[in-house]
């Protein structure tokens, strides 16, 4: 894999995430850059990013409005919500951003996916599982992979194995990665 571009480096630094391996974070960041049409450093606009996250209303009725003055703290969540909304399909029903939150299990699967990605794969913990689906993801991680004390996957020397596990976890939650095209 090529070294990160200047824009990728900026976005990865802004996430304040520290996964054991950068492969998944790079996929997320590369897709995010395409979604947000970030072609140069000046295109990284926190207000536009927060506005899109607010427009998506990813967490439905539990959603709070993202404010640009809290951007640095909330950016990892915003990044994952935008990425999930544009880069995944849910149970062949369509791209996540287009699926109704009234679909049974969809809302809790989105929460588990975002929080599980942060805690299990990107090494940023919120203090425990946010719901039963995320708790099951943590149990599966501990059962099949070397994990840290909080359930984070530690497949340091085999990023392809970590990515395989990540995609199987997403499949378990009903999500299929479709990525971004140029």
Over residues 113-143, the pLDDT tens digits come to 888 888 888 887 766 666 788 888 888 888 8
Residue 176 predicted with pLDDT over 90: yes
Whole-number Cα distances in Å, 11 to 25, 46, 72, 101, 143: 10, 11, 11, 29, 32
For residue 59, pLDDT over 80 is answered with: no
Does the structure show a pLDDT above 80 at 106?
yes
What pLDDT is stored for residue 79 in this prediction? 93
Percentage with pLDDT > 90 across the chain: 41
> What's the pLDDT score for residue 124?
79
CB 86 within 8 A of CB 56: no
| Ranges of each domain in the chain | 6-177
- Write down the pTM of the prediction: 0.88
Give the least confident one: 47-56, 77-86, 154-163: 154-163
- What are the start-end ranges of the E strands in the chain? 88-90, 175-177
In this predicted model, which residue has the larger pLDDT, 174 or 59?
174
Half-sphere exposure of residue 162: CA atoms within 13 angstroms, side-chain side: 22
Answer with the residue of higher pLDDT: 133 or 172. 172
The arithmetic mean of pLDDT across residues 177-181, rounded, is: 86
CA atoms within 13 A on the CB side of 1: 13
* Mean pLDDT of the chain, nearest integer: 86
Q: The tokens of 77 are what?
A: 């969540």
For the segment 23-54, what is each residue's pLDDT rounded down to a tens digit?
Answer: 899 999 999 999 999 999 999 999 999 999 88
Longest dimension (CA), the chain: 44
How many helices and strands, by DSSP H and E, does the chain display? Answer: 7, 2
Assign residue 127 a region (left: φ > 0; alpha: ψ between -120 and 50; beta: otherwise): left
Residues belonging to the chain: 182
- Beta-ladder partners of 95: 89
Closest CA to 12 of 162, 98, 28, 58: 28
pLDDT at 112 over 90: no
pLDDT value of position 154: 76
**In the predicted model, is pLDDT for residue 61 greater than 70?**
no
Comparing CA positions, the residue from 41, 50, 43 lying closest to residue 69 is 50
pLDDT score of 153: 78
């Amino acid at each position: 894999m090529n070294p990160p571009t200047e824009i990728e480096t900026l976005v990865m630094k802004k996430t304040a995430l520290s996964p054991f391996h950068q492969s998944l974070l790079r996929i997320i960041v590369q897709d995010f850059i395409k979604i947000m049409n970030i072609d140069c450093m000046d295109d990284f606009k926190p207000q536009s990013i927060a506005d899109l996250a607010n427009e998506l209303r990813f967490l439905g009725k539990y959603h709070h409005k993202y404010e640009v003055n809290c951007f640095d703290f909330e950016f990892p969540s915003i990044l994952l919500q935008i990425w999930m909304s544009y880069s995944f399909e849910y149970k062949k029903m369509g791209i996540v951003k287009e699926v109704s939150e009234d679909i049974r299990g969809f809302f809790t699967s989105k929460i588990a996916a975002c929080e599980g990605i942060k805690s299990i794969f990107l090494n940023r913990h919120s203090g425990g599982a946010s719901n039963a689906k995320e708790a099951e993801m943590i149990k599966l991680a501990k059962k099949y992979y070397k994990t840290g004390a909080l359930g984070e996957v530690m497949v340091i020397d085999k990023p392809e194995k970590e990515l395989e596990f990540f995609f199987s976890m997403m499949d378990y939650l009903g999500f299929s990665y479709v990525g971004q095209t140029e």
